[in-house]
Structure 1
Amino acid sequence: MDFDLPETAVAVRDGVAAVAAKYDHEYWSRCEEEHRFPTEAWQDLADGGWIGLCIPEEYGGGGAGMLELAVACETLAASGGTAGIFLYILTPGFGAMTLARHGTEEQKQQILPGVATGETQFCMALTEPDAGSNAIEITTSGRVDGDELVIKGQKVWISGVENARWMLVVARTTPADEAQDKLGSRTGGFTLALVDVPEALAAGTLEYAPIPKLGGNVVTSSQVYFDDVRVPLSNVIGAVDEGFPVLWDVLNPERILAAAGGVGGAEVALRLAAEYAREREVFGRPIGANQGVQFPLAQLKAKTELARLMTYKAAWLFDQGRPCGNETNVAKLTGAQVAWEAADRAFQTFGGMAYSKEYPIERLFRDARIGKNIPVAEELILAHIGTQMLKLPRSY
């Protein structure tokens, strides 16, 4: 696609594409089969400066913004590394972006240089068994004890714990039923803190158990248990009880990067489907000459371009410090939908061969499906669009 991206974003697209070209579909499928983190691709991206993009230059990063990060994530996914979007969501998104915008000087100096080199990875712990998108209901608690925060509770579907040095944990330091009276709002009482994962594991206060899952196995997703994990108050992001605005500033980048990954996933699915449709002959002509094959692919190409534009718009607004919640949600919705629809249509285009692991279609198919559920279910996005953009009554 020809698009007047800033020169910085074009450089990112070209640079990430050059690295990604070294890692073919067979590589990503092998990592998936072996449930193995793509260490080689990760380090190559880090060495090129493509992991530390949004880290300020004084801490070893590229000093770029959300738009460049989204382009990098999209480009990696479009190369075939669709599960590789976790590489951008977990560490540059949850870690680098959060610290660059909200961390203390001490936190930045301590952590960001390691992220820029690829040595340091992140994960984030928000979702609980009884509180996912309804984050206000989380019950994992944080209790201030002297100069420490003591965290107790359980999280679920936490990806990347096995590789993470740091975990960004969201805890309730004031219970929801008390927050309204004490703090003036039920969104008060949240605290975000950095847990040193190896240290907590060694102390026996943190445990995790991987969850067997359908796809995205280049990182594990785990149940995580906090049994009085002690965190220095100097590791709090923002202030105790005042983490909700920071949380939203974490979730918007997550949704933008998920949208970008969806756009890239749609692009690679359509590219493979078009190549196959040009080459596969039935009844004496390529199947791509049949409008029943061609038109659905063409329709999805149009949808992909529109999802890309909305993703770039959301990222640009975020970089400008302007409200972007509506655009972020629309981008995530359309990016996830077109990724799934494109993977499904590629599956149909390949016919029975799509079921074979000779082709990457089955992997793209599995990777695409989860985007309709995470990082937020599309039903809740539709509810947001209905109530916030169309001003319709709430249904919940």
Structure 2
Amino acid sequence: MDFELTDTARAVRDGVAAVAAKYDNAYWSRCEEEHRFPQEAYDDLAAGGWLGLAVPEEYGGGGQGMLELAVANETLCASGGTAGSFFYVTTPGFGSMTVVRHGTEEQKARILPGLATGQSQFCLALTEPDAGSNAIEITTSARRDGDDFLIRGQKVWISNVERAEWMVAVTRTIPAGDAKPRTAGFTLFLVDVKEALAAGTLSYTPIPKMGSNILYSSQVFFDDVRVPAANVIGEVDQGFAVLWDVLNPERILAAAGGVGSAQAALDVAVSYARERRVFGRPIGSNQAIQFPLAQIKAKTELGRLMTYKAAWLFDQGKPCGNEANIAKLTGAQVAWEAANQAFQTLGGMAYSKEYPVERMFRDARIGKNIPVAEELVLAHIGTQILGLPKSY
């Protein structure tokens, strides 16, 4: 599938694949089993510059765009590191793209060099216990205190806070009930996580979960976290447009991770179907096994193309919300279908930790719910693309 990629994107794919080849399925399964961050893989990716792809060259990065990031994330996940998508979304996605596109010159100089080398990591604090897909209803507040702001509230399902140096915190500086229009009053901040933790104003509690345990997902509590006004991303009260420019990259990278995860599960299933013999022939010769895998292959290719289209539009500065949502929908669906079919192909052996399918199965399921629920994507397609009336 080289025809749709630039020479640079192909070089990224080959470079990340060379690093990923050092870390087999057994490595990723061990990290998951031990609830351990894949530090070795992360360090190798950082050393090769693959985590700083989207950082401009003047700050030590690769100067590339969303397409190259998507290719990198897809390649990593296709190697078997299906949960590895999380640190690509958090640091290059939330971090590099947000600061590059919306940061001040001072913010860029302060933050981007660390992202380029992989020394700094990011997290995004948006979701709240009572405001998930309905992000417009968040209540975490930020109020002025001299030259600073004080953030108070609670977030949930925040990935990577335990490793992050920086957090993109989404707050309301005008309460939802007072905002006109409803999208007014959002302000995004760069929060120094280590500083806030040391001050005791920021705390987090990991949430036990069924998969993707290479990173914590946590409840996060803000108790008057002090943030300088110089750390506002964009403009006070005008952060909703910036937020969408954070969420579209998240969807695109999630789609890329889904496509890569689908390929990883498909590779395991196909290999097993070639080798496993029942009634004197490989089970892959049976159409009941072969045809579903062929369907997965077709859907994977389509998901890949839509992901690349959304990434290309983003890089061109063109509207990409529709494409990003469709890519996320298809990437998540094919990741789940591939893992499910791999499970069926391996039969009882899929239940064994001898094979990576049980891990892929657990990792893939959450993609249908995050970073945006499948039903909300379908509602977006129905109302924004098809022009149907809203149901909410």
Shorter-chain TM band: over 0.9
250-259 or 194-203, larger mean C-alpha shift: 194-203
CA-to-partner distance for each residue in 1:184-242, whole Å, 9 max, x for gaps?
x1101000001111111111100100000010000000000000000001111001111
Q: Is the 8 A contact 2:99 2:107 kept in 1?
A: yes
Counterpart in the other structure of 1:46: 46
Unaligned runs of 5+ in 2: none
* Residues in 1 aligned to 2:39 and 2:108: alpha-carbon distance in whole angstroms: 24
CA shift for structure 1 position 176: 1.1
* Residues in 1 aligned to 2:390 and 2:255: alpha-carbon distance in whole angstroms: 25
1:333-344 to 2 correspondence within 5 Å?
333-344=329-340
How many matched pairs? 392
Match of 2:262 among 259, 266, 274: 266
1:211 matched to 2:201? The reply is no
- Counterpart amino acid of 1:237? I
Report sequence identity in percent. Answer: 78
1:165 matched to 2:165? The reply is yes
Counterpart in the other structure of 2:112: 112
CA-to-partner distance for each residue in 1:131-174, whole Å, 9 max, x for gaps?
01111000000001111010000000000011000111000000
- Counterpart amino acid of 2:247? L
Counterpart in the other structure of 2:191: 195
1:299 matched to 2:298? The reply is no
* Residues in 2 aligned to 1:379 and 1:351: alpha-carbon distance in whole angstroms: 30
- Counterpart amino acid of 2:281? R
Counterpart in the other structure of 2:320: 324
CA shift for structure 1 position 103: 0.4
1:97-108 to 2 correspondence within 5 Å?
97-108=97-108
CA shift for structure 1 position 87: 1.3
1:79 matched to 2:96? The reply is no
Counterpart in the other structure of 1:230: 226
- Counterpart amino acid of 1:272? V
1:137 matched to 2:150? The reply is no
Counterpart in the other structure of 2:34: 34
* Residues in 2 aligned to 1:248 and 1:214: alpha-carbon distance in whole angstroms: 29
CA-to-partner distance for each residue in 1:306-354, whole Å, 9 max, x for gaps?
0000000000000000011110000000000000000000000000000
- With structure 1 as the length reference, what TM-score do the two structures score? 0.98
Unaligned runs of 5+ in 1: none
* Residues in 1 aligned to 2:229 and 2:222: alpha-carbon distance in whole angstroms: 17
CA shift for structure 1 position 3: 2.8
SS in structure 2 of the partner of residue 231 of structure 1: strand
CA shift for structure 1 position 4: 3.1
* Residues in 2 aligned to 1:144 and 1:241: alpha-carbon distance in whole angstroms: 12
Match of 2:349 among 349, 353, 357: 353
Counterpart in the other structure of 1:244: 240
1-10 or 164-173, larger mean C-alpha shift: 1-10
SS in structure 2 of the partner of residue 379 of structure 1: helix
- Counterpart amino acid of 2:162? E
* Residues in 1 aligned to 2:241 and 2:124: alpha-carbon distance in whole angstroms: 16
- Counterpart amino acid of 2:238? E
- The runs of at least 4 aligned residues of structure 1 exceeding 4 Å deviation read none
* Residues in 2 aligned to 1:314 and 1:57: alpha-carbon distance in whole angstroms: 24
* Residues in 1 aligned to 2:349 and 2:194: alpha-carbon distance in whole angstroms: 44
SS in structure 1 of the partner of residue 220 of structure 2: strand
Give the alignment's Cα RMSD to 1 decimal: 0.6
* Residues in 1 aligned to 2:285 and 2:40: alpha-carbon distance in whole angstroms: 40
1:153 matched to 2:176? The reply is no
SS in structure 1 of the partner of residue 36 of structure 2: coil
